[in-house]
Amino acid sequence: MKILVKVPATTANLGPGFDALGLALNLWNETEFSPRTDGQIHIQVRGEGQGKIPESAENTIVQSALQLYALAGQPCPGMDIHCLNRVPIGSGLGSSSAALLTGMLGANALLGNPLSEEEVLKLAIETEGHPDNVAPAMLGGLVASIVHEGRVISLKLPARANRSPMHVTIVLPGFDFPTHQARAILPTTIPRQDAIYNISRAVLVTEALRTGDLDLLGKAMTDALHQPYRLPLIPGAQAALQAARQAGAAAVALSGAGPSLIAFSAKADEQIGKAMQAQFVAAGLPARIFALSASYEGAEVTIL
């Protein structure tokens, strides 16, 4: 028996939805699990992160798989894991959440699915510490999450753009900006007007994505809680954001904590990506362009 697990990239925050909103993207990691009987775990990584991601017990997929075996009260008989990664690591596109879910879903399938999808999602959110990437990676589409009485509640929102299609351009600069560093620079308290600014805009971002209203998305996808602190630390990011708008993007924001930027437009336009890339290059950073779309499907598990 072999198990194929596919998990999409995700973009979190979407401007004002800090730690609450996330959207799945059509960029997928694919991982094949095969059972062994000798207790050994072998993992091979190809594609994004090859040569950087550990092929050992330190790998997040291995750790999360073993976590699920332990939770199920079962010893791990061993497994072979073959990864084809398309989601760049350290990009603001949810690579760590994708790896976490991959390991749990693969182990759960090898065990005969003792945990429901809801239980796997709950475990992944508890392990990750925040739901904004894990939830859309699991559920697909646009997902809003809250914490209620210590329990995370994630809801997939209707987000099929029925007014017009939405195209997504991601530009990823070659800049190391770990999430823990991006979080450490944020203030511990915020002014009331900044809270109001984000709350009101987060509501409108969800409505804009539901209806496909790019004009509204452009007005609402701004932020006062995290981008003013993060953008200045990424060389060229502020200029790239402005360049994307000038090139025709309706809305632009940091993808997650960065360093990548995400731009939304009514049509696929390579000039938007090139405009952002040029600003990063001018600031001394190489940058890659990804032309994507939203994914309304989440993680998939297939028995081969």
Residue 179's domain is classified under what CATH number? 3.30.70.890
Q: How confident is the model at residue 160 (pLDDT cuts 50, 70, 90)?
A: low
162 lies in some domain: no
204 lies in some domain: yes
Query: Tell me, what's the pLDDT at 86?
Result: 98
Residue 230 and residue 177 share a domain: yes
The token pair at 194 is 């900044």
The number of domains in the chain is 2
For residue 196, the enclosing domain spans 167-292
Residue 211 and residue 197 share a domain: yes
Residue 152 and residue 10 share a domain: yes
Q: Please tell me the number of Cα atoms within 13 Å of 240 on its side-chain side.
A: 35
Lowest pLDDT segment from 83-87, 177-181, 296-300: 177-181
CB of 156 within 8 A of CB of 171? Answer: no
252 lies in some domain: yes
Residue 116 and residue 21 share a domain: yes
**Phi and psi, residue 157, nearest 5°:** -95, 150
Q: What is the DSSP letter of 135?
A: H
132: CATH:
3.30.230.10
Query: Tell me, what's the pLDDT at 163?
Result: 53
Nearest-angstrom CA–CA distance, 243 and 276: 6
Q: Please tell me the number of Cα atoms within 13 Å of 92 on its side-chain side.
A: 30
Residue 97 and residue 173 share a domain: no
Which pLDDT tens digit goes with each residue over 31-72?
A: 999 999 999 999 999 999 999 999 999 999 999 999 999 999
pLDDT at residue 21 tops 70: yes
Residue 54 and residue 149 share a domain: yes
Q: How confident is the model at residue 164 (pLDDT cuts 50, 70, 90)?
A: low
Residue 185 and residue 111 share a domain: no
Query: Tell me, what's the pLDDT at 158?
Result: 81
265 lies in some domain: yes
Query: Tell me, what's the pLDDT at 151?
Result: 81
pLDDT at residue 89 tops 70: yes
Residue 287 and residue 180 share a domain: yes
Q: What is the DSSP letter of 14?
A: T
283 lies in some domain: yes
Nearest-angstrom CA–CA distance, 92 and 117: 24
Burial 169-178 (b: 16+ CB within 10 A, else e): bbbbbebebe
For the residues 105-113, what does the mean pLDDT come to? 97
pLDDT at residue 110 tops 60: yes
Residue 57 and residue 36 share a domain: yes
Rounded (10°) CA dihedral 115, 117, 121, 123: 0
Residue 151 and residue 7 share a domain: yes
Residues shown for the chain? 304
The helix (H) or strand (E) run that includes residue 173 is: strand 167-173
Residue 197 and residue 91 share a domain: no
Nearest-angstrom CA–CA distance, 9 and 136: 9
Residue 180 and residue 115 share a domain: no
Q: How confident is the model at residue 136 (pLDDT cuts 50, 70, 90)?
A: very high
